[in-house]
Amino acid sequence: MIDVIMCIRRREDISPEEFHDYWRNTHGPLVRQHAPKLGIRRYVQHHANETGLEAIVQDSRGCNHEDFDGVAVISFDSLDDMAANGAQPEALAASDELLEDEKNFIDHQRSLIWFTDHHEIIA
């Protein structure tokens, strides 16, 4: 399985509450709608939860204090399947629609995205 991981920062002109509501209740259903066309097997949104412990844990490990508003994990069966599905005309149209919607709440220039091999250790 391959995962596309996106560490997301919200646009600065929207509040954290607006960001989380839009991502969960507008963008999430749009991804669900297009998942079959794109070959998406799993989509998980991880919304940042300010606990006050972040700095303590980050400092104890010597980590950066990068603040993201959330992390999206999009899973596919394989890179080959993702590429094959993504090349279909209906998938290209779906990808374009999702990207346009992301522009409503994501600051892409301050976000990160990468591809990973999925190795589940604890189910």
Query: What architecture is the 2-117 domain classified under in CATH?
Result: 2-Layer Sandwich (3.30)
For residue 60, name the pLDDT band (cuts at 50, 70, 90).
confident
Looking at per-residue pLDDT, the higher value among 52 and 47 belongs to: 47
Residue bearing tokens 């990808």: 95
pLDDT confidence of residue 29: 98
- Mean pLDDT of all residues in 37-48: 96
- Mean pLDDT of all residues in 83-101: 93
Q: What's the chain's average pLDDT? A: 92
For residue 65, name the pLDDT band (cuts at 50, 70, 90).
low
Residue 82 has pLDDT above 70, yes or no: yes
DSSP string over 23-80: IIIIIHHHHHHHHHHHT--EEEEEE----S-HHHHHHHHT------SEEEEEEES-HH
For residue 6, name the pLDDT band (cuts at 50, 70, 90).
very high
